[in-house]
Amino acid sequence: MKFENILNDNQDGILTITINRPSKLNALNRDTIQELHQAFQDAESDEYVKVIILTGSGEKAFVAGADISEFSDFSPEEGKELAAKGQEILFDYVDNFPKPVIAAVNGFALGGGLELALAAHFRVASENAKMGLPEVSLGVIPGYGGTQRLPQIVGKGRAMEMIMTAGMIDASQALQYNLVNHVTTQDELLEFTHQMASKIAGNSLVAIKSAIKAVNANYEDGVNGFEIEIEEFGRCFGTADFREGTTAFLNKRKADFPGE
Ligand code: COA
């Protein structure tokens, strides 16, 4: 599939997916969401993709939200369908993606843009980044998981404040809120994130897949995360990566994981 709204660049197994509608501040229209879904699906089955970095094109925005022009005349049923489909094909998919996903937030991350960053496994931001969930200023609420993931990450009170005020926080406040793990200059954002991705890629991606599943189990209703951890822990013992990792350690050499 040829993409029109995103760019893909794989360097040494680190796939950078750039949302590329800078004239609309990379707002997520239907096509862009579909293309992102496709890009993630391709990345899932591509053995040459180890870690994914999600970012926005241009100097101003990561993603300035869902494309408001597309849903301003929707009925309640259409609104519900928009949220349900988006959550299924992109936001939940990214959150549960079996390979690490890092959001490199390079500017405005608003509404669906912040929700996309929240769905990533963790976030790095540049100093100029601004984050918020402005939906109630439009008469709607976050529909791509923001009411659930923001409180999980920053705590209920801060999430309530951000959602109710519809305001933006800057990168240093986002760091203080643990909404982002690191803040860099605008110039250094991608290189910094890439270095972190490379470090991750040197570990066992089979074990990381299990770790993602176990960590996410903590946020699933009716699921006992400790039991999932035990199951995944046991599963690791049957992998070639585990044999390589432990053998390499005992032989005082660096592990070269086969990825199985
Ligand atoms: N949906 C559709 N178009 C959007 C958009 C969105 N979420 N965010 C920005 N755009 C478009 C603008 O309409 C404008 O298009 P135009 O040049 O054809 O008129 C273009 O992107 C540039 O945005 P502009 O508003 O001129 O930039 P700015 O620097 O003055 O303001 C923002 C930047 C981010 C403060 C402002 O664009 C904004 O508030 N966007 C909407 C944020 C939002 O509410 N998102 C949640 C959606 S649920």
Read off the pLDDT of residues 198-238 as tens digits, 9 standing for 90 and up: 999 999 999 999 999 999 999 999 999 999 999 999 999 99
Per-residue pLDDT of 79-134, as tens digits, reads: 999 999 999 999 999 999 999 999 999 999 999 999 999 999 999 999 999 999 99
19, 32 Cβ separation under 8 angstroms? yes
Alpha carbon 26 to chain centroid, angstroms: 16
Task: Indicate the domain borders of the chain.
Answer: 6-201, 205-250
d(CA 62, CA 82) in angstroms, rounded, equals 21
Quote the CA–CA distance of 150 and 129 in Å, as a whole number.
17
Distance 24 CA to ligand 1 centre (A): 6
Which residue lies with its CA nearest to atom 40 of ligand 1?
64
Nearest atom, ligand 1, residue 68 CA: 1
Nearest to 250 by CA among 242, 238, 258: 242
- State CA 161 to chain mean position distance: 23
Provide the whole-model pTM: 0.97
CB distance 69 to ligand 1 below 6 Å: yes
Of the pLDDT bands very low, low, confident and very high (cuts 50, 70, 90), residue 2 is confident
Which one, of 122, 116, 150, 2, lies nearest residue 51 by Cα?
A: 122
Euclidean distance between CA atoms 187 and 196, whole angstroms? 16
Dist. CA 25 → ligand 1 center (Å): 6
Q: Does domain 6-201 have CATH number 3.40.50.2000?
A: no
**Using one digit for the tens of pLDDT, what is the confidence trace for 28-80?**
999 999 999 999 999 999 999 999 999 999 999 999 999 999 999 999 999 99
Q: How far is CA 92 from CA 15, 118, 147, 149, in A?
A: 19, 10, 13, 11
Report, as residue numbers or ranges, the catalytic residues. 115, 135
Cα–Cα distance, 78 to 89 (Å, whole number):
16
Q: What is the pLDDT of residue 187?
A: 97
Tokens 């035990």 correspond to what residue? Answer: 230
Interval 9-13 mean pLDDT: 97
Ligand 1 centroid, distance to 27 Cα (angstroms) = 8
What pLDDT, on the 0 to 100 scale, is given for residue 243? 98
SS (HEC) of the chain: CCCCCEEEEEECCEEEEEECCHHHCCCECHHHHHHHHHHHHHHHHCCCCCEEEEEECCCCEEECCECHHHHCCCCHHHHHHHHHHHHHHHHHHHHCCCCCEEEEECCEEECHHHHHHHHCCEEEEECCCEEECCHHHHCCCCCCCHHHHHHHHHCHHHHHHHHHHCCEEEHHHHHHCCCCCEEECCCCHHHHHHHHHHHHHCCCHHHHHHHHHHHHHCCCCCCCHHHHHHHHHHHHCCCHHHHHHHHHHHCCCCCCCCCC
What is the average per-residue pLDDT within 5-17? 97
